[in-house]
């Protein structure tokens, strides 16, 4: 085992053991513990570190190597410090033990995304220790609160401390898992685009009455059940956007697969024949999706309810504006029931960065050396990451790490916020080398 592997393993284990669990409440997370750890780790380089704490315990840390040329492009390596909660019953091992077993580090955050938070820090320290004096500035950011909308992390920093964190180019989660292309060569997805959210509350109204006399009552719960059913069954049109098209073309699939994947009239029929996990992923990349997720209503067994509140997780494709998403939601609910509901929504639109950038070129060059014969493909992130704040501020933001072949795309997908999250040490070494080489080439 080389130094990089041992160092990455050790730092990842420590980050996992810090248990910076973000349950969405302001008092959770306590990322200060991992900021202390990283400050100790990076502090030995002699570089100045800045800490930001918009709420007690919700710290983020910034380290920078100042470039010599203010006009040269800058690069931000950004990793979040928080993780989502676990249900220990579903785990084979202690989710916060950071155990090393057969070359895998186990624990919450192993792939989302403490693996990259750790390897970015190691790349940064190696660069600093080697006396790296780039033209463009390199910034490392260990950030709080990614798992709850970035309120006390990236969102806050971009709004209040833009100069400290802004860079022309941003690398954060996730991407880089090896997917076999149609010609057998590995493809490495770069997350260039992220769907938006249009989270909606649907309040369903009725008329109260006595539960002992239900005939012809206007029961909000019964109406809500129908609203939920309609939203769940709603199938908006298939949209083939530019990122999806370039992904499919870049994968080198045979025409019998590539053609239906790019044809809005044939794609849904193709999904019927595919395994569920794959079909679900393809569907989300090509549709604005609607998932009813929360229902609150009723007061007492003998009272006909007059109010039920539903929450719907709507995820929008690029180009689907708030008004479009609203129209789709109304179409799903149906004209006959719209008079019984009030809808309020929070529009957080999709973001995307172009492929034609110096960062893409550098990533392709560096990755093809570390993963022989590989090629990059753009990919759609169906969930959200901190990249959106930086893209809106003007950065080119990509999600990218590197993973070995010990971790399949399917395994990787199920571990995100799931049970038995783990990452192999080879992947840690690959990511560290990639981040270091990319910084050297892009900022030189
Ligand atoms: Zn994450």
User: Ligand 1 centroid vs 81 CA: distance in angstroms?
Assistant: 9
pLDDT at 349: 96
| Cβ count near 419 (within 10 Å) | 15
Share of the chain above pLDDT 90, in %: 94
pLDDT at 262: 98
Q: Containing H/E element for 172? A: strand 169-172
106-134 pLDDT, tens digit each? 999 999 999 999 999 999 999 999 999 99
Nearest Cα to Cα of residue 122 among 438, 429, 387: 429
Q: Are 390 and 154 in contact (CB under 8 A)?
A: yes
User: Ligand 1 centroid vs 112 CA: distance in angstroms?
Assistant: 4
- Coil, helix or strand for 24? coil
Contacts of 154 (CB under 8 A, 6+ apart): 78, 143, 145, 146, 165, 386, 389, 390
Supply the mean pLDDT for the chain.
96
User: In 3-state terms, the chain is what percent helix, strand and coil (to 5)?
Assistant: 40, 25, 40
Using the predicted structure, report yes or no on whether residue 41 has a pLDDT greater than 70: yes
194-247 pLDDT, tens digit each? 999 999 999 999 999 999 999 999 999 999 999 999 999 999 999 999 999 999
Using the predicted structure, report yes or no on whether residue 408 has a pLDDT greater than 90: no
pLDDT grade, residue 1 (50/70/90)?
A: low
User: Ligand 1 centroid vs 280 CA: distance in angstroms?
Assistant: 20
User: Ligand 1 centroid vs 417 CA: distance in angstroms?
Assistant: 9
User: Ligand 1 centroid vs 239 CA: distance in angstroms?
Assistant: 26
How many Cα atoms occupy the beta-carbon half-sphere of 20 within 13 Å? 34
Q: What is the DSSP string of 317-348?
A: PTT--HHHHHHHHHHHH-HHHHTTEEEEEEEE
pLDDT grade, residue 415 (50/70/90)?
A: confident
Alpha carbon 302 to chain centroid, angstroms: 44
Supply 375's token pair: 């090629």
pLDDT grade, residue 276 (50/70/90)?
A: confident
Q: What is the DSSP string of 299-318?
A: --TTEE-SEEEEEEEEEEPT
The interaxial angle of helices 242-251 and 276-286, nearest 10 deg, is: 140
User: Ligand 1 centroid vs 273 CA: distance in angstroms?
Assistant: 31
pLDDT grade, residue 45 (50/70/90)?
A: confident
Using the predicted structure, report yes or no on whether residue 277 has a pLDDT greater than 90: no
Q: How far apart are CA 419 and CA 411, in angstroms?
A: 11
User: Ligand 1 centroid vs 351 CA: distance in angstroms?
Assistant: 17
pLDDT at 46: 82
> What is the Cα gyration radius of the chain?
23
pLDDT at 390: 98
What sections of 238-321 are H helices per DSSP?
242-251, 255-261, 267-271, 276-286
User: Ligand 1 centroid vs 173 CA: distance in angstroms?
Assistant: 6
Q: How far apart are CA 360 and CA 243, in angstroms?
A: 14
Q: Are 308 and 298 in contact (CB under 8 A)?
A: yes
Using the predicted structure, report yes or no on whether residue 299 has a pLDDT greater than 90: yes
């Amino acid at each position: 085992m080389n130094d990089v592997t041992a160092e990455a393993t050790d730092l990842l284990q420590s980050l996992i053991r810090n248990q910076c669990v973000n349950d969405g409440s302001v008092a959770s997370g306590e990322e200060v513990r991992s900021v202390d750890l990283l400050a100790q780790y990076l502090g030995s380089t002699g570089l100045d570190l800045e800490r930001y704490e918009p709420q007690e315990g919700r710290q983020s840390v910034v380290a920078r190597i100042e470039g010599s040329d203010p006009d040269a492009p800058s690069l931000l390596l950004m990793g979040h410090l928080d993780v989502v909660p676990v249900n220990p019953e579903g785990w084979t091992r202690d989710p916060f033990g950071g155990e090393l077993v057969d070359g895998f580090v186990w624990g919450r955050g192993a792939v989302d995304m403490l693996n990259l938070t750790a390897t970015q820090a190691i790349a940064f320290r190696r660069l600093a220790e080697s006396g790296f004096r780039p033209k463009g500035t390199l910034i490392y950011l260990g950030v709080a609160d990614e798992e709850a909308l970035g309120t006390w992390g990236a969102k806050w920093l971009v709004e209040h401390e833009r100069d400290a964190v802004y860079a022309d180019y941003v690398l954060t989660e996730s991407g880089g898992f090896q997917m076999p292309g149609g010609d057998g060569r590995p493809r490495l997805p770069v997350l260039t685009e992220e769907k938006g959210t249009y989270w909606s509350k649907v309040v369903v109204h009725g008329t109260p009455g006595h539960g002992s006399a239900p005939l012809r009552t206007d029961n909000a719960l019964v109406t809500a059940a129908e609203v939920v059913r309609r939203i769940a069954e709603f199938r908006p049109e298939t949209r083939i956007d530019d990122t999806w098209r370039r992904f499919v073309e870049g994968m080198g699939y045979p025409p019998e697969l590539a053609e239906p994947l790019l044809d809005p009239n044939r794609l849904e029929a193709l999904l019927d024949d595919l395994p569920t996990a794959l079909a679900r992923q393809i569907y989300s990349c090509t549709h604005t999706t609607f998932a009813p997720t929360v229902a609150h209503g009723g007061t007492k067994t003998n009272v006909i309810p007059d109010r039920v509140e539903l929450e719907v997780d709507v995820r929008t494709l690029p180009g689907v504006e708030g008004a479009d998403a609203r129209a789709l939601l109304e179409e799903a609910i149906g004209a006959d029931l719209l008079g019984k509901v009030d809808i309020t929504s929070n529009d957080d639109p999709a973001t995307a960065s172009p492929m034609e950038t110096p960062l893409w070129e550098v990533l392709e060059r560096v990755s093809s050396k570390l993963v022989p014969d590989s090629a990059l493909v753009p990919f759609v992130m169906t969930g959200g990451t901190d990249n959106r704040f930086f893209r809106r501020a003007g950065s080119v933001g990509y999600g990218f790490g590197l993973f070995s072949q010990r971790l399949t795309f399917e395994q990787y997908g199920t571990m995100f916020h799931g049970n038995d999250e783990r990452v192999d040490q080879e992947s840690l070494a690959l990511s560290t080398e990639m981040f270091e080489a990319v910084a050297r080439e892009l900022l030189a």
